[in-house]
Amino acid sequence: MPANPLNVRRLAAVLAADVVGYSRLMGQDERGTLDRLREHRQTLIDPALAKHRGRLVKTTGDGLLVEFPSVVEAVECALGVQRAMAERDATLPESS
């Protein structure tokens, strides 16, 4: 047992993520952007974090800082979210 129980080492992987083009999207449609971000968090991102044992450390307007117990969990979570977002994007109409 360590001399000071507050000084416990552990291995972790940290994932930092943000939304590409967030400022532009907010400038075009603030309410819609916030609604879509909230929906993505609730239906896609938060469940992926839970599935891969991620612990949300911090959020910013468009960013997340997440701790995982292993690099494998962090990478699998990130890839899963990216794939799911690509599938969602494929169903959207082309923008001009």
The 10s digit of each residue's pLDDT in 38-74 is 999 999 999 999 999 999 999 998 999 999 999 999 9
Question: In terms of residue numbers, what domain contains 71?
Answer: 13-90
CATH code of the domain containing 72: 3.30.70.1230
For the chain, helix, strand, coil in percent to 5 are 50, 20, 30
7 within domain boundaries: no
Residue 8 lies in a domain: no
Q: What is the pTM of this model?
A: 0.82
Say how far apart CA 72 and CA 77 lie, in whole Å: 8
Q: Residue 4 falls within a domain, yes or no? A: no
Domain count, the chain: 1
Maximum mean pLDDT: which of 32-36, 47-51, 58-62, 90-94:
47-51
pLDDT in tens, 3-18: 677 888 888 999 999 9
pLDDT the model gives residue 21: 92
Q: Is residue 77 domain-resident?
A: yes
